[in-house]
Structure 1
Amino acid sequence: MSIEIKNVEKSFGRFKALKNISLDIASGELVALLGPSGCGKTTLLRIIAGLEVPDTGSILFHGEDATHRHVRDRQVGFVFQHYALFRHMTVFENIAFGLRVRPRAKRPPESVIRKRVHDLLNLVQLDWLADRYPDQLSGGQRQRIALARALAVEPQVLLLDEPFGALDAKVRKDLRRWLRRLHDELHVTSVFVTHDQEEALEVADRVVVLNEGRIEQIGAPHEVYDHPATPFVYQFLGDVNLFHGRVHDGHVRIGDAEVELAGGQDHPESAVFYVRPHEIEILRDRSAGTIAAKINDIRPLGATVRIELERADGRGMVEVELTRDRFANKGFREGESVYLQPKRLRTFNHNSVSENTIGSGQFIAS
């Protein structure tokens, strides 16, 4: 089922949670609503579900206006962060609940309910837990049962509100991969809320980045990460270093690094340039376009090593990320004086994004 969100606004007292939100979600698509706390993502999800009514704007399901349709008539399945399972019911009874409480005319026969529940338990790979109670399950198992319960009523739309937020990192990573495989099998139109950038980028077909009640960017995961539309998106989707530079006579200077800009580019005299930690080289020898620095801290993080450096010109700290193998080959030490060479710079000017590769002399607008 496709979903159309048209010019939706919502306020709570003086606080404006959503500001003119418009979004189309294709049938069978898995979309992530990503943003910090208070950005409006959960409010938007609740409006889609029918748990909240927008002040203005409309919600259409498959072309039909559902703005004021009751939640029970929307064919929506909802999965909450804290499972919301009935503690006094077994796993089997929890999943069957939505089917058994239907009006008598719409209620399936008990034999159909039992088959449906066992099919769902097999789907979430927990058929052996049918007679257990929620308190006897792990967090990951409870969330899979909550998802099975949401699917039991055969929803046209599946809504998930921070579904893995209460779980530890390892279980969260396993479950989001499992959710992606499950979605590829079922093709239910799905919208999930998260503040976890990695989760959104790994699971979703498209990511909708929200900030202060507005949509900052919509796109495929690789698009929003590689081509952020605004400074907010750039900084929210991973760590970033900020370099303050000056532009003069077609060149940008950041410390000792100077890069030629292609003709015709309109830039202010001073600008902020954005560089991700993995887009910076650490060199032992000074060369053109490098910035002197000293290594303050070296911290191995699994497959990568994070290095914190202090610029020699006193203009702040820089964070660099190297692969474990590259770090081992270089053998950098704390206290060592080195030189930094950004491989790519981005700046935001007049609502556009510009990108430059150090040493190429070519300025690319994207």
Structure 2
Amino acid sequence: MSIAVSGLQKRFGGFTALHNVDLEFAQGELTALLGPSGCGKTTLLRIIAGLETADAGQVLMHGEDATGRHVRERQVGFVFQHYALFKHMTIFENVAFGLRVMDKKRRPSENEIRARVMKLLELVQLDWLADRYPPQLSGGQRQRIALARALAVEPKVLLLDEPFGALDAKVRKELRRWLRRLHDELHVTSIFVTHDQEEALEVADRVVLMNHGKVEQTGTPQQVYQQPATPFVLNFLGQINRFSGRLHEGQLDLGSLRIAAPEFSDLRDASGTAYVRPYELSVERYSPGIEGLLVQLRRIHGTGPLAQLELERDDNNQLIEATISSERLQHLNLKTGETLIVRPQHYRVFADQQAA
């Protein structure tokens, strides 16, 4: 089922949770709603589910207006962060619950319920736990059961709100790989909320970046990471260094270094910022005549194939982070306190303000 939202507005008192949000979710696609706490992603998910009512705007499901439909009529499966399993019921009964409470016209027979539940437990690879109770399961197992329960009613749309947020890092990584494989098998239109950039980029077909109730950018994981539309997107998706300077006729002047910004060739005497990821900086030992930013090496942490360098600019004491290979670190034989030169190899420039 495809979903579209148009002109969604939602306020809670003086707080604007959603401001004129327009989005489309393609049938069979797995979309991540990504952003910081309070950006509106969970509110949007709840409005799509019918658990929350928008102040203005429309929710369309497969081209039909679903704005006024009750949650039971939307054919939506919902998975929460904290499992919400019934502790007094066995795993089998938990998964069967949604089927048993259907109205008589839609409710499957007892044999059909048993067959469907066992098939789902096999799908989530936990059929051997059918007779156990939720407190006897690990966090990761409980979340898979919660997902099986959501799928039992054969929803057209699956909505997941921070589904792995309560789990430790290792279990989260295992479960998001598992979720991706499960989605590829079922092809249910799915939307999941997360504030974890790695999770969104690894699992989703498409990522929606949200900030202050608005959509900043939508695109494939590769598009939003490699072609960020705004400084917010750049800042939110991983570590970033910011180099501010004078933006004039297609160049950003950083003092001891000028970098090209041809998209701003019409600007004069404006302020701008170059955004550079740590691995996009070249690092060399200082030698007279080499163009670049002069820095002091303050700290080295080398773990595995990569080494992180903490650097401090000589001209303004700004702290910079650079990532180089362990081989490069060994070759340079760097020591803390040394003077180095850094230059951006790849960067994105944004104008801060345009001079009158």
| Secondary structure of 1:208 counterpart | strand
| Secondary structure of 1:105 counterpart | coil
Instruction: Give the Å deviation of 1:268.
Output: 4.2
**1:282 matched to which residue of 2?**
283
CA distance in 2, matches of 1:80, 1:250: 49
**2:308 matched to which residue of 1?**
306
Native 8 Å contact 2:247 2:351 kept in 1: no
Moved more, 122-131 or 151-160: 122-131
Aligned residue type for 1:273 = A
Instruction: Give the Å deviation of 1:322.
Output: 1.9
CA distance in 2, matches of 1:127, 1:170: 23
CA distance in 2, matches of 1:86, 1:202: 31
Instruction: Give the Å deviation of 1:297.
Output: 1.2
**1:142 matched to which residue of 2?**
142
Instruction: Give the Å deviation of 1:32.
Output: 0.5
Aligned residue type for 1:8 = L
CA distance in 1, matches of 2:222, 2:268: 29
Structure 1 position 8 matched with structure 2 position 20 = no
Native 8 Å contact 1:257 1:288 kept in 2: no
Q: 1:56 to 1:248 in 2, by over 3 A?
A: closer
**1:362 matched to which residue of 2?**
none
Aligned residue type for 1:332 = L
CA distance in 2, matches of 1:3, 1:12: 24
Superposed counterparts of 1:113-128, under 5 Å: 113-128=113-128
Q: 1:261 to 1:225 in 2, by over 3 A?
A: closer
Aligned residue type for 1:144 = R
Native 8 Å contact 2:249 2:266 kept in 1: no
Aligned residue type for 2:348 = R
Instruction: Give the Å deviation of 1:339.
Output: 0.9
Native 8 Å contact 1:258 1:288 kept in 2: no
Structure 1 position 328 matched with structure 2 position 309 = no
Structure 1 position 201 matched with structure 2 position 197 = no
| Secondary structure of 1:320 counterpart | strand
> Where in structure 1 are there 5+ consecutive unaligned residues?
352-366
Native 8 Å contact 1:84 1:146 kept in 2: yes
| Secondary structure of 2:347 counterpart | strand
Calculate the TM-score normalised by the size of structure 2.
Answer: 0.94
Native 8 Å contact 1:280 1:343 kept in 2: yes
- Calculate the aligned-residue CA RMSD, in Å: 1.8
1:41-85 Cα distance to aligned partner (Å, 9 max, x none): 000000000000111101011011110100011100000000111
Native 8 Å contact 1:258 1:289 kept in 2: no
| Secondary structure of 2:350 counterpart | strand
Q: 1:60 to 1:247 in 2, by over 3 A?
A: closer
| Secondary structure of 2:155 counterpart | coil
Structure 1 position 96 matched with structure 2 position 91 = no
Superposed counterparts of 1:193-342, under 5 Å: 193-248=193-248, 251-260=251-260, 262=262, 265-269=265-269, 270-286=271-287, 288-342=290-344
CA distance in 1, matches of 2:6, 2:294: 51
Native 8 Å contact 1:259 1:289 kept in 2: no
CA distance in 2, matches of 1:143, 1:301: 32
CA distance in 2, matches of 1:15, 1:248: 39
1:91-125 Cα distance to aligned partner (Å, 9 max, x none): 11110111111112221111111111111111111
Q: 1:50 to 1:29 in 2, by over 3 A?
A: same
Instruction: Give the Å deviation of 1:333.
Output: 2.1
Q: 1:117 to 1:282 in 2, by over 3 A?
A: same
Native 8 Å contact 2:77 2:155 kept in 1: yes
CA distance in 2, matches of 1:215, 1:136: 41
Structure 1 position 28 matched with structure 2 position 28 = yes
Superposed counterparts of 1:180-195, under 5 Å: 180-195=180-195
> Where in structure 2 are there 5+ consecutive unaligned residues?
none
Aligned residue type for 1:127 = D
Native 8 Å contact 2:9 2:21 kept in 1: yes
Q: Percent identity?
A: 60
Aligned residue type for 2:351 = N
CA distance in 2, matches of 1:350, 1:27: 39
Native 8 Å contact 1:299 1:307 kept in 2: yes
Calculate the TM-score normalised by the size of structure 1.
Answer: 0.92
Instruction: Give the Å deviation of 1:128.
Output: 1.1
